[in-house]
Amino acid sequence: MFQDLIGAVHDSLQAATFSYALAFLGVLCFACLFIFNKSGNNGLPPGPRPLPLVGNLLSLEPELHTYFTALSKVHGPICTLWLGKKPGIIISSPAMAREVLKDQDATFANRDVPVVARELTYGGKDIVWRPYGPEWRMLRKVCVRDMLSNSTLDSVYDLRRREIRETIKFFYDNAGRRVNIGEQMFLTILNVITGMMWGGTVKGEERESLASEFREIVAEMTELLGLPNVSDFYPGLAKFDLQGMQGKMKGVAGKLDKIFQSVIDQRLKMDEKESKDFLQVLLQLKDEGDEKTPFTITHVKSLLMDMVVGGTDTTSNAIEFAMAELMNKPEVIHKLQEEVDAVVGKDNIVEESHIHQLPYLYAVMKETLRLHPTLPLLVPHCPTQTCLVGGYTVPKGSRVFVNVWAIHRDPSIWENPLEFRPERFLDSKWDFTGKDFNYFPFGSGKRICAGMASAERMFMYALASMIHSFDWKMAQGEKLELSEKFGIVLKKRIPLVAIPTPRLSHPTLYE
């Protein structure tokens, strides 16, 4: 209860900070009302009437995904929300999403980079925020070819297996006690990613403390990325950092940068033959870089940042949502356990080779990402030129939000959209390729998530192992809840803390 109170106070202070930062602008609004003319719309999509100077900033609600959904029900599948003097365009239908992410993909392939994102990613030099062009294509190629290809992921299966088994052993050692599922999944994935990157994993007593520390750092980063910032909407005020967000991001990003620099310094002292991990590959690419699009040490760090920040919180939150939904529907978790038992048996442990034989597990993953898409508004797009979408003008430089959360819950597309029902994805045409704009949890087009294959493997393997190895229940007197907390990455508002009970035939299977 005390932690909930602290969290509520923290949220209130953040909201107050944002309001105070706009206060002096709000005072000017009423002095400037006479110059406002709604007819000066210039063909923009409809939306709530803005105030001069501040636009609609004062009416923003913390849960942007649900707030945007409500606006779209009033103003239509494409609408305008003024973020200060910058137009924000909200897309909330498959048809509008197709126009943005497919028909005019090249025009919308850039990002509207927030100030805090620049601070996090060495000036926006990573694959997420870098403008579309030769340098971005080079980074994407490095990711897809050298880091996240199927053959590369196959080569590090032993690492994934070792970390999953370590987590299962942790749950077994804590059988009958409350465990924080999201925290343990975060550490598991962190260990896999750092193991792939530079061979660093954590064991024993350090496990829980490091999970909490790293998760707090990444959580603060993703929270800052999702908060409205006056510096983004009024660039002339950015140097004042009125909300202190840039300073906060600089502090937390600096903690990870020190880790990266330390690892790089150690690696540069080693013989190249001593290591074959991804960091070594990246450092070799730096030395062999193309003169036209050189691959620098800043690119190395930015990709490490993308992997650690983008790969941990996203997948661990998705697994946490899946576990909560399964525990909320005993008939679904029993059906999934029956499927895994039939393929694996209770005298054996789950291997990644079993996964392709588990269609219901695959349907559970798809349904989880339908109800709780990891990035509910994707990463905002930014058109490089003024264009038309749905017959309306979308100005160059506007911030375009694709509300995939709303599309995935649209009752005109999905039957009983708020119900967790994996059966809707059995023998289904829907996949993760982003070709069907009724369902695209990883985005679509040129900016579709590069880590999709890695996330899918970790999700499936981890969830199958947890469901196969244990029964799960809430502690007596505690209630399971499924509410969400908005951020650029969607989270459970209240962490899932549950009690595991071993269900395999022999203790040795948990070693």
| Partners of residue 400 on adjacent β-strands | 89, 381
CA 157 – CA 311 distance, rounded (Å): 17
Q: Which residues are annotated as a binding site?
A: 449
Residue 59 tokens, joined: 């009416």
| Dihedral over alpha carbons 11, 14, 16, 21 (to 10 degrees) | -160
Helix residue ranges, H only, 33-144: 64-75, 94-98, 115-120, 134-141
Helix residue ranges, H only, 227-358: 230-233, 245-268, 278-287, 297-328, 330-344
Task: Find, among 70, 141, 163, 498, the residue nearest to 320 by Cα.
Answer: 498
Supply the DSSP string of 170-186, one letter for each residue: HHHHTTTS-EEHHHHHH
CA 48 – CA 26 distance, rounded (Å): 17
Q: Which residues are annotated as a binding site for heme?
A: 449
Three-state SS at 497? strand
Distances in Å between the Cα of 5 and the Cα atoms of 8, 11, 12, 15 are: 5, 10, 11, 15
Residue 37 tokens, joined: 């003319």
Task: Find, among 39, 217, 6, the residue nearest to 120 by Cα.
Answer: 217
